[in-house]
Amino acid sequence: MNWISGTGLTHADIALTHAITLPMLTEKQRVELLPAVEALARQAGAAILNLYQSGTPTIVKSDGSPVTAADHASDAILSPGLAALAPGIPVVSEEGVEAGHVPDISGGTFWLVDPLDGTKEFIGGTGEFTVLIGLIQDGKPTMGVMYAPVADEIYAAAVPGYAWRETKSGREKIQVRTAPADGLLTVTSSYRRTNDTLERYLEGLQIGERIRRRSAFKFGDVARGAADLYPGFGLSYEWDTAAGHALVTAAGGTVTMVDGSPLQYGKPEFRNPDILVIGGR
């Protein structure tokens, strides 16, 4: 096959999306583009797995968080790959922002990429890390791909009602579930310290069960009806949430700020407030 250097894409892939040069993608264009975005996520995941198995040194970033060669290897595939797929749509990547590369997003349409969400899990060898790709239009996520390389599990969504999960057992359409009468199954971050604000919030709810999860799997749990609520209290960035937000919304759920107002994207420094990821009511 004739692969485009550095992207893992064929000339046929580029030809399919050559007409997508405007900053705003229609629902039809997003659906047509989704398989190529998934392919990019899988290629980035393969690069991460190679380094996961062989080991890679860790560097501490300016904010104190870790980064590895796997983060950069994934970014080197995703950023140019997305730019080739949809010319004219800027790519905001966690690693790019850290390096000072912040594109102009004033047009309102841009990609948000976390090349390796869960670097701590990658370093710790838990396998619970993901590749995240989200498309933002007018401040809202309209497409999302989340790929877990170790499990070879991918989630994808492009339009309302079009959300699915594929594992080694096959592909299935997913949707949020109706909240059970005996209490909410709540998923929280497994690595964060006890948060008093979070605990006070949960005290006001009827909680049936509480589980802890790493990385963006929490969004996947809500989207596929395996959990009812993910209260995302604590520091997060837009590239951490965009893909999962798109997935949950397409599956019938909501992602809001704690006061119920919509979570918007393109904020200063791309920082999020505390958020609520909610399944069926």
Q: How far is Cα 39 from Cα 147, in angstroms, rounded to an integer?
A: 10
Which range among 52-61, 114-123, 213-222, 261-270 shows the weakest confidence by mean pLDDT?
52-61
Average pLDDT over residues 189-216: 83
Q: Tell me what pLDDT residue 68 has.
A: 85
Q: Tell me what pLDDT residue 192 has.
A: 56
Structural domains of the chain ordered from first start: 3-173 (3.30.540.10), 184-278 (3.40.190.80)
* Most confident listed range (7-11, 66-70, 106-110): 106-110
Radius of gyration of the chain (CA): 18
pLDDT confidence tier of residue 169, bands split at 50, 70 and 90: very high
Q: Tell me what pLDDT residue 152 has.
A: 97
Q: Tell me what pLDDT residue 5 has.
A: 36
Tell me the β-bridge partners of 3.
10
Q: How far is Cα 68 from Cα 49, in angstroms, rounded to an integer?
A: 12
Which range among 14-28, 72-86, 154-168 shows the weakest confidence by mean pLDDT?
14-28
Q: How far is Cα 80 from Cα 7, in angstroms, rounded to an integer?
A: 6
178: exposed, middle or buried (C-beta count within 10 Å: 0-12, 13-18, 19+)? exposed
Percent of the chain with pLDDT over 90: 70
pLDDT confidence tier of residue 59, bands split at 50, 70 and 90: low
pLDDT in tens, 115-149: 999 888 888 888 899 999 999 999 999 999 999 99
**DSSP-derived pairing of the beta strands 184-189 and 207-213:** parallel
> Cα–Cα distances in Å, from 217 out to 38, 57, 146, 211, 225?
17, 25, 9, 12, 12
Which has the closest alpha carbon to 257: 275, 234, 233?
275
Q: CB–CB of 115/74 below 8 Å?
A: yes
